[in-house]
Structure 1
Amino acid sequence: MILTTTNSIEGFKIIDYKGIVTGVAVNRKQTGMSFSMTKYYDSLESNIEEIKEVGFQKLKDNAKKLNANAVVGINVDIETFATSGILMISVTGTAVHVVSEK
């Protein structure tokens, strides 16, 4: 599946727009402040990467349900809830069916 933040894919033609798809992921672990700030930020960075991958996988799964082979115009939104340590990632784009122009 092709994923892009742009609204078109070079060398491909969009032949059908399937609809807007979203992948949302929330971490289940809470990141505590009882250790050093360096460790806290390292943990936060690691959590964001892990959760972002889950969000993208959900986006692809939802696009596949619409028989799409690409998602264009992807936007990634990251929300942090500092008091609870919860992270939420929302990945949204337009599911499309593309064909090669060659």
Structure 2
Amino acid sequence: MILTTTNNIENFKIVDYLGIVTGAAYNSSYSYKGSKMSFKDMFSTAKYYENYTAGLESLKENAFQKLKENASKLGANAVVGIQLDIEPVANTSTLLVSITGTAVKVK
């Protein structure tokens, strides 16, 4: 499946617009592969950013997988106009990753 932030795909023609699709994922920004960062590691700047980055990448990948699944359900072979939004959930260490785009059929 082709995923792009642009509204068209070079060398392809959009033949059908199937609708808006989303993918969302949320989890603690301090959690990666099911393990949480220890209290001690939170004071290690390098370890903190390493785990935070890995956790965020994992969330984004999960959200993209859900976006592709939702587009496939509509019969799409591409998603155009993708927008990514990352929001902290108030008063928690949880991040919400939301991805939105338009499911299309291209030739």
TM superposition score category, shorter chain reference: 0.7 to 0.9
Task: Provide Cα deviations, 1:33-57, integer angstroms capped at 9, x if missing partner.
Answer: 5432221111110011001000000
User: The residue matched to 1:60 in structure 2 has which SS?
Assistant: helix
Aligned partner of 2:27 in structure 1 is 27
Unaligned runs of 5+ in 1: none
Give me the CA root mean square deviation.
Answer: 1.8
- Give the number of equivalent residue pairs: 99
**Structure-2 separation of matches of 1:88 and 1:31:** 18
User: The residue matched to 2:101 in structure 1 has which SS?
Assistant: strand
User: The residue matched to 2:105 in structure 1 has which SS?
Assistant: strand
**Structure-2 separation of matches of 1:22 and 1:64:** 12
Aligned partner of 1:7 in structure 2 is 7
**Structure-1 separation of matches of 2:53 and 2:91:** 17
Contact in 2 for aligned 1:32/1:85 (Cα 8 Å) = no
Q: Cα offset for 1:12?
A: 0.5
If the length of structure 1 is used for normalisation, what is the TM-score? 0.87
Unaligned runs of 5+ in 2: none
If the length of structure 2 is used for normalisation, what is the TM-score? 0.83
